Amino acid sequence: MPGVDAIQAVNRGSQTRRRLLRAGLELFGQRDYDNVTTRQLADLAGANLAAIPYHFGTKQALYQAVAEDIVASIQPSTRAALLTAGRCADTPDAGAHRLLQALREVILAFSHEVVGVADARLRAGYILREQLRPSASFDVLYEGFMRELHSVMTRLHARLLGCPDEDPAMAFRCQCLIGQVLGFRVGREVLLRRLNRDTLDPRQIAEFVADTNVAALQREIGHA
């Protein structure tokens, strides 16, 4: 049986670990890997420099642990929206209205993750950097989230437009849709300058993207 001292030591250790992960998200979300020093990570976490090799082995391993943490902290509501939409796309007699509704929910959830939730800026920063220069963390992010998002959206589009799931045009449409959301994150500075503002309302962005795309699809289906 472990003594009280040992248990306290374990708790202290796991808290240091958590604070290092938090500092990792904060710093790697804002700056490139090589622009973040182990000293900054340790300082921000209120930990000692040697705590990084101790808890993670290397700086690189801490960086990857942050990716796993990002995947693990995706909102349950987003997971639920993807699950519902996936089922909906698999239901043969689902009508256009229900498919569009599901797509709308997925876009809103994804937008919320990218521009809405508390750490959205940091997490999106980390993910975008991984996209520009994939490392081992990219697989974690892809398998943990992106693959399913892409797959569900593609199948919804295929059903709505009466195309096979494998039609490349469906993947292209889906890529455009994701790009629209990411554009508000990547091109944020440009948009702020254009609008002469210094903030953007995340909900407004999410609803704008969802509404314009759903409306466009509605017109496209009606027209066909």
CB of 39 to a copy of itself, least distance (A): 15
Give the up-direction half-sphere exposure of residue 198: CA atoms within 13 A in the CB hemisphere.
0
CB of 48 to DNA, least distance (A): 3
Q: Please tell me the distance from the alpha carbon of residue 172 to that of residue 167, in angstroms, as a whole number.
A: 9
Question: What is each CA distance from 206 to 35, 67, 106, in whole angstroms?
Answer: 31, 24, 10
Interacting residues with a copy of itself between 124 and 153 (CB under 8 A):
125, 128-129, 131-134, 138, 142, 146-147, 150-151
Task: Residue 84: name the closest of 103, 110, 112 by CA.
Answer: 103
Instruction: State the SS3 of 83-100.
Output: HHHHHHHHCCCCCHHHHH
Interacting residues with a copy of itself between 166 and 185 (CB under 8 A):
168-169, 171-173, 175-176, 178-184
Interacting residues with DNA between 51 and 80 (CB under 7 A):
51-55, 58-60
List all residues 6 or more positions away from 187 whose beta carbon is below 8 Å from its beta carbon: none
Task: Residue 150: name the closest of 126, 122, 181 by CA.
Answer: 181
C-beta closer to a copy of itself: residue 51 or 89: 89
Tell me: does residue 32 bind a copy of itself (CB under 8 A).
Answer: yes
The site for DNA (CB under 7 A) is made up of: 9-10, 12-16, 36-39, 47-55, 58-60
Binding residues for a copy of itself (CB under 8 A): 30-35, 125, 128-129, 131-134, 138, 142, 146-147, 150-151, 154, 168-169, 171-173, 175-176, 178-184, 186-191, 193-195, 205, 208-209, 212, 215-216, 219-220, 223
